[in-house]
A and B are shown apart, each in its own frame.
Chain A
């Protein structure tokens, strides 16, 4: 990774976002996460969670303020450059159905390397190692992703998110479809692998029970100003 200890993994300065100026607004005056620091964001559905995730992932740009990713003025770049930077520096894990069902497990993982512009030969080996350390057997690699259990699919999603050794991993309720046992092992594996890559995790969930895995916490309610979004 290019990150040196002095440069934060992600930094938000006076970020303000709204769809209409008069309605609901999302404001985040300051947020700095150092490499390897993990943040838990608690938010119920409808609290602007998705908007925040889109902002952090660079899908949308804030109306005011800056988002700086690994020292790069992320939110000021063009949409195309943000896409490229996202491919290289941000991993995303969704609630469920993270994988493209018709691709094999290995190809799903290799997708992120493809968009980051990493040669397949190089990433293939790392993908295999990563999948193995996440507890997926070699014979699963060639299977269609849809054939795996939900818990396995979520672990493949971690592998894909971490394949490019990103500065930031955004997880959007990744445990909501898992039972308690799977959830705990998922959390352990996620943080373990993220630490191994020095990746900062931003974890969004409505489940306050997961709070104890994180040293930093944030509540969506504190970010919203004005009316609630519909």
Chain B
């Protein structure tokens, strides 16, 4: 009967009850959503690269270098010449390198020019190697290997032809239409920016830019795809390269040697350190966000209490009737608490559903625009603790209207003030 009373009473005030639930649900969506994004972002960021000891690019801040080389965010300030790359990669302490050449795109997905070493040495998450879902690494100039998402989103199969576009916009005005690439491989999903990358050989990148200069096609000079193959396709420059060392002990020595390299101004960064710095920078924003969300939640709870407190006046009749039929004031206290519990739980359920739907809808955008790979399921054991804490907090705050009901019940008795 108590349950029925609480439920029916809320249904009776469904207008305000719904608004209360909505406002509470919004703050809960914010809280759980931001908490989830925070964790996922950290997970996603830190698992993007593993096993690489150094990343080398033109001199710049380590964050910039990390962002464009690993996360495909932003652009390089300058390139690294091929000679320099060749010379450094012969360093006795260096066991392998992966050249990276960026700057082109295919329908909004970044194109990465690299070589076979990429498929052999690149590691992510727990030092996992890249796996092919279908096909194999590129072996010809006009071969391409697609990230899992590129293939699934654009519906590409092995053997399909794609054209690359100059620049990194979704819409490009200058495409390398004359030199289409054939899909020879599709990578298995990694949950990293790799999934959104189109991989081609360095020679392929070189070939499509033979008749280009300063980022635009050279008028009057056309080099066909076949003609390009006959020319020297050794790249003149790359954007950056990853380095694996013989021994991690040498990391700092090699880093210093590269930073002091005379031929060209270079920066060598430790991905782990750069990631940590990136994360530290983000964590302040992250903590601030969390604080704001918590305040929004408090506002939501206070709003609920205000609504309930305001409703106590119009519910005097109801309370007096319950008293008259023998309800103890504590019963009214529990009734209000139960109503709050119902409101909170409903809001939580609504928030959970909204959040899952929102994450499901935003997953692609977050992945393609921000390189954030998030799981749709935002719930963990910690969510349960959060939920418990919120129920507790709402119960504590519900004491205010509940106690008002209790006190009024004692004072007013059967008197009903209309």
In Å, the complex CA distance between A98 and B318 comes to 9
CA distance A116 to B328 in the complex (A): 11
Interface centre among A83, A84, A99, A172, by most B CB within 10 Å? A83
Known: A83-B328, A97-B317. A57 touches B413 (CB 8 A): yes
Q: What is the CB-to-nearest-CB distance from B313 to chain A, in angstroms, rounded to a whole number?
A: 15
Option from A100, A114, A120, A172 in Cβ contact (under 8 Å) with B318: A100
A115 with B325, Cβ < 8 A, contacts A102-B12, A103-B8 known: yes
Alpha-carbon distance A91/B366, docked complex (angstroms): 64
The answer to whether B415 touches A87, judged by C-beta atoms less than 8 angstroms apart, is no
CB pair B12–A111 under 8 Å, yes or no, is no
Q: Report the separation of the CA atoms of residues A79 and B321 in the bound assembly, to the nearest whole angstrom.
A: 17
Contacts of A49-107 to chain B: CB distance below 8 A: 50, 53-54, 57, 59-60, 79-80, 83-84, 86-88, 90, 92, 94, 97-103, 107
Looking at chain B's contact residues, is the secondary structure mostly helix, strand, loop, or mixed?
helix
B9 CB-CB contact with A under 8 Å:
yes
Shortest CB-to-CB span from A84 to chain B, Å, is 7
Instruction: With both chains docked as a complex, state the minimum distance between the C-beta of B405 and any C-beta of chain A, in angstroms.
Output: 14
User: What chain A residues lie within 8 Å of B12 (beta carbons)?
Assistant: 101-102
Interface residues of A in 109-139 (CB under 8 A from B): 110-112, 114-116, 120
A87, A99, A100, A103: the one within 8 Å of B326 (CB): A87
Do B326 and A59 touch (CB < 8 A)?
no
Is there an interface contact between A115 and B317, defined as CB atoms closer than 8 Å?
no
Complex Cα distance, B320 from A101, in Å, reads: 13
Q: Are A111 and B325 in contact (CB under 8 A)?
A: yes
A19 to B415 Cα, complex, angstroms: 15
Please name all residues of chain A whose beta carbon is closer than 8 Å to the beta carbon of B326 when the two chains form the complex.
83-84, 86-88, 90, 112, 115-116
User: Any chain B CB within 8 A of the CB of A42?
Assistant: no
Partner of A103, one of B5, B323, B410: B5
Residue in B closest to A172 when the chains form the complex, CB atoms: B414
A160 cross-chain contacts in B, Cβ below 8 A: 325
Query: Which of A103, A110, A115 touches B327 (beta carbons < 8 Å)?
Result: A115
Name the CB-closest residue of B to A95.
B416
A109's closest neighbor in chain B, by CB?
Answer: B325
B330: nearest residue on chain A (CB-CB)? A80
Give residues of chain B (1-49) contacting chain A, Cβ–Cβ below 8 Å.
1, 4-5, 8-9, 11-12
Number of B residues near A (Cβ < 8 Å) is: 26
B322 within 8 A of A: yes
CB of A83 to closest CB in B, whole Å: 4
What range describes how many residues of A lie at the interface? 20 to 34
Residues of A within 8 A of B5 (CB): 100, 103
B253 at the interface (CB under 8 A from A): no
User: Is B324 located at the chain interface by the 8 A CB criterion?
Assistant: yes
Q: Say whether B9 contacts A59, CB under 8 Å.
A: no
With A79-B328, A110-B1, A160-B325: A53-B414 Cβ-Cβ less than 8 Å: yes
Would you give the 0/1 interface string for B323-360, flagging 1 where the beta carbon is closer than 8 Å to chain A? 11111111100000000000000000000000000000
Q: What is the interface of chain A mostly: helix, strand, loop, or mixed?
A: helix
Chain B proximity of A68: nearest CB distance (Å): 19
Contacts of A50 in B (CB 8 A): 413-415
Bound together, the chains give a CA A120 to CA B324 distance in angstroms of 19
Q: Is the Cβ of A94 less than 8 Å from the Cβ of B328?
A: no
By the criterion CB–CB under 8 Å, are A102 and B325 in contact? no
Contact between A92 and B8, CB atoms less than 8 A apart: no
State A79–B331 Cα separation when bound (angstroms): 13
Q: How far is the CA of A112 from the CA of B330 in the complex (A)?
A: 17
Q: Which residue of A lies closest to B317 (CB)?
A: A97
Q: Which residue of B lies closest to A88 (CB)?
A: B326
Q: In the assembly, what is the distance between CA of A80 and CA of B406, in Å?
A: 13
CA A83 – CA B324 in complex, angstroms? 9
Least distance between A105 CB and chain B CB atoms (Å): 13
- A57 & B321 in contact (Cβ 8 Å cutoff): no
Shortest beta-carbon distance, B319 to chain A, in Å? 10
Closest to B418 in A: A97
B414 touches A59 (CB 8 A): yes
Tell me the smallest distance from the CB of B4 to a CB of chain A, in Å: 7
The contact string, 1 if C-beta is below 8 Å from chain A, for chain B 385-418, is 0000000000000000000000000100111100
Tell me which of A84, A92, A103 contacts B324 (CB under 8 A).
A92
The answer to whether A107 touches B415, judged by C-beta atoms less than 8 angstroms apart, is: no
Name the distance in Å between A176's Cβ and chain B's nearest Cβ.
13
Can you list, as one digit per residue, whether each of A26-42 has a CB less than 8 Å from chain B (1) or not (0)?
Answer: 00000000000000000
CB pair B324–A94 under 8 Å, yes or no, is yes
Query: Which residues of A have CB within 8 Å of B4?
Result: 103, 107
The answer on a CB contact under 8 Å between B414 and A54 is yes
Q: In whole angstroms, what is the CA distance A84 to B413 when docked?
A: 15
List B contacts of A54 (CB < 8 A).
Answer: 413-415
Task: Give the contacts of B268-321 with A (CB-CB under 8 A).
Answer: 317-318, 320-321
Known contacts: A100-B318, A102-B11, A103-B5. The answer to whether A92 contacts B413 by CB under 8 A is: no
Q: Which residues of B contact A107 (CB under 8 A)?
A: 1, 4, 8
Is the pair A111, B318 in contact by a Cβ cutoff of 8 Å?
Answer: no
Asked if A60 contacts B325 (CB within 8 A), the reply is: no
- What separation, in Å, do the CA atoms of A114 and B5 have in the docked complex? 12
**CA A71 – CA B327 in complex, angstroms?**
22
Subset of 8 A-B contacts with CB under 8 Å? A59-B413, A83-B326, A84-B328, A92-B325, A98-B321, A102-B12, A107-B4, A112-B326
Given contacts A54-B413, A83-B323, A160-B325, 8 further A-B contacts (CB under 8 A): A80-B330, A83-B328, A84-B328, A92-B324, A97-B416, A111-B1, A111-B322, A120-B1
Instruction: Give the A-binding residues of B (Cβ under 8 A).
Output: 1, 4-5, 8-9, 11-12, 317-318, 320-331, 410, 413-416
